[in-house]
């Protein structure tokens, strides 16, 4: 797919087809604006015919608007895979929450994305399509992009699709393209330790977010199978390395599950675990997933937990829940295979 390519690669692709360089520029600009092939008016018919199988293509099979202005779209790629993408409106701009895989194989007990396992990885261009889709809806031009931030927090485990995700990060931060600074991109992972080191070594200075959700390995193993592969201690060591290499403070996500990980004692253990680290804890009262029997902590209790952590010297906030009425909140995205899971 041509959207997997950077500008220089598009130029050589177009030149190989026997067309002049300015056609590459037109093609690249059209893709950056999120145009469909049919919407491009300045490219010759024969050229469009030659590139049609490689041009990014998807169908919007659902588009929901939440009362809090969050939007969620389901995009269907030519092989029939459907991914969900969320647009979140903040004071400072718009954030797109992208999916990195169709489904997920991490198996976290509280998350909807993993219910049918992993179907396939998304390519760099397919991840980028999701950002370009909303950028276009918001009326972006080449001079003015509308999307300011990206979070890799949709369906899938980004570090389980490292090659394509790292390519996507390069494409989206490229000055020729959307030019979104890595500082405005957050990558969330359940903690695939070797890939955290690789991310640091490859020089990506995105904001690293760890889905921690438990203060001990024993408890973590109950809800997150990945805890059997990597100990919390190993994750924290990798985070220290990431901080040393990038200077970026690491974020920890902690979905509060009533009676499971939200007792005073557990919060104290969490504070001791993170003491002295340059980090921040995002508390998220668990969002409901109908197939899962877990209940979220109340928001009131979440604020008490945040206060306790702050008192113990750990920076913490309660994340605003957005888009819950359209199942667009954390952990509610899923792959919908032609309606099978709806």
Question: Which residues are at the interface with ligand SAH (CB under 6 A)?
Answer: 106, 108, 110-111, 153, 157, 188-190, 211, 253, 255, 284, 286-287, 289, 330-331
Looking at beta carbons only, is 110 or 133 nearer to ligand SAH?
A: 110
Name the active-site residue from 97, 108, 190, 330.
330
| Minimum gap (Å) between residue 301 Cβ and ligand SAH | 15
Cα(183)–Cα(231) distance, integer angstroms: 28
| Minimum gap (Å) between residue 26 Cβ and ligand SAH | 36
From the CB of residue 210, how many other CB atoms can be counted at a distance below 10 Å? 23
Looking at beta carbons only, is 4 or 253 nearer to ligand SAH?
A: 253
Looking at beta carbons only, is 97 or 309 nearer to ligand SAH?
A: 97
| Minimum gap (Å) between residue 94 Cβ and ligand SAH | 18
157 touches 190 (CB < 8 A): yes
Name the active-site residue from 49, 84, 233, 324.
84
Whether 84 sits among the annotated catalytic residues: the reply is: yes
Looking at beta carbons only, is 161 or 173 nearer to ligand SAH?
A: 161
**Residue showing tokens 């056609």:** 23
327-338 burial, b if ≥16 CB within 10 A, otherwise e?
bbbbbbbbbbbe
Whether 265 sits among the annotated catalytic residues: the reply is: no
Cα(104)–Cα(117) distance, integer angstroms: 5
| Minimum gap (Å) between residue 22 Cβ and ligand SAH | 40
On the 0-12 / 13-18 / 19+ scale of CB atoms within 10 A, 317 is middle
**Angle CA(312)–CA(314)–CA(319) in degrees, nearest 5?**
125
Looking at beta carbons only, is 19 or 168 nearer to ligand SAH?
A: 168
148 touches 184 (CB < 8 A): yes
Cα(97)–Cα(86) distance, integer angstroms: 5
Helices (H) and strands (E) in the chain, counts: 10, 12
| Minimum gap (Å) between residue 4 Cβ and ligand SAH | 22
Q: Which residues are catalytic?
A: 84, 330
């Amino acid at each position: 797919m041509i959207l997997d390519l950077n500008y220089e690669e598009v130029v050589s692709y177009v030149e190989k087809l026997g067309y002049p360089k300015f056609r590459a520029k037109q093609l690249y600009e059209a893709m950056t604006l999120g145009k469909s092939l049919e919407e491009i008016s300045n490219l010759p018919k024969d050229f469009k015919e030659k590139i049609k199988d490689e041009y990014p293509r998807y169908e919007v099979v659902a588009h929901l608007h939440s009362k809090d202005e969050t939007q969620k779209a389901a995009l269907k790629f030519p092989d029939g895979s459907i991914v969900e993408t969320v647009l979140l409106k903040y004071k400072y701009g718009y954030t797109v929450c992208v999916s990195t895989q169709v489904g997920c194989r991490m198996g976290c007990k509280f998350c909807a994305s993993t219910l049918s396992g992993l179907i396939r990885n998304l390519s760099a261009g397919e991840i980028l399509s999701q950002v370009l889709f909303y950028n276009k809806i918001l009326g972006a031009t080449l001079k003015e992009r509308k999307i300011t931030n990206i979070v890799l927090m949709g369906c899938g485990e980004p570090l389980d699709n490292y090659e394509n995700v790292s390519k996507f990060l390069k494409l989206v931060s490229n000055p020729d393209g959307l030019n979104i600074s890595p500082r405005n991109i957050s990558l969330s992972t359940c903690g695939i330790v070797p890939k955290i080191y690789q991310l640091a070594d490859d020089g990506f200075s995105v904001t690293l977010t760890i889905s921690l959700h438990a203060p001990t390995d024993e408890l973590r193993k109950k809800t997150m199978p990945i805890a059997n592969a990597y100990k919390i201690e190993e994750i924290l060591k990798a985070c220290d390395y990431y901080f040393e290499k990038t200077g970026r403070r690491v974020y920890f996500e902690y979905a509060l599950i009533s009676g499971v990980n939200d007792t005073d004692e557990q919060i104290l253990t969490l504070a001791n675990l993170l003491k002295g680290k340059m980090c921040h804890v995002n508390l998220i009262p668990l969002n409901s997933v109908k197939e899962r029997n877990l209940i979220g902590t109340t928001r009131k209790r979440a604020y008490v937990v945040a206060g306790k952590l702050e008192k113990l010297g750990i920076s913490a906030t309660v994340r605003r829940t957005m888009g819950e009425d359209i199942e667009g909140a954390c952990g509610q995205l899923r792959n919908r295979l032609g309606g099978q899971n709806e």
